[in-house]
Amino acid sequence: VQLQASGGGLVQAGGSLRLSCVASERTFSSVGWFRQAPGKNRDFVAGISRSGGSIDYAEDVKGRFIISRDNALNTVYLQMNSLKPEDTAVYYCAASLGHPWMRTSYDLWGQGTLVTVSA
C-alpha cells in the first residue's frame, strides 16, 4: 500500500485547508496525520480508525481540525480550520494496524505536503 498526501498550500491565518491522503489500495488500517515544522520533531495531529468510529486529536488542534475518511475512495481527509501561523509544517499521512491513538504504531508513511500559514 502506498499513501499519497496532497492539498497543502499557502493560506492566511484564520483560513482553512483540506488535506487528502489517498491509499493505492483498500486499507484496513488506522490512518493518521502528522506534521513536522522546521527544526522540530514530527508530531501527531490526528488519527482515525478504519470504520471512522474512533478518532484521536492532538490537544492543540482539537476544535479546529476534523479528520474523516471515505473508504469507498480509499481516502482520509484532514479539514483544517482557524489556521494559525504555528500550524505551518509539512504534513504527512501514515497508516497503522493499531488503534488511531497508538501514535508510535504508524509505520507506513506517505510523502509530505507543505502547509504555510501567514500571519
62-96 confidence digits (pLDDT tens): 999 999 999 999 999 999 999 999 999 999 999 99
pLDDT band at 98 (very low <50, low <70, confident <90, very high): confident
Alpha-carbon gap, residue 111 to 105, rounded angstroms: 18
pLDDT band at 27 (very low <50, low <70, confident <90, very high): confident
Task: State what percent of residues in the chain have pLDDT above 70.
Answer: 100
Residue 31 near residue 44 (C-beta atoms within 8 A): no
pLDDT greater at residue 87 or residue 24:
87
Of 20, 14, 36, the closest CA to residue 118 belongs to 14
pLDDT of 118 above 80:
yes
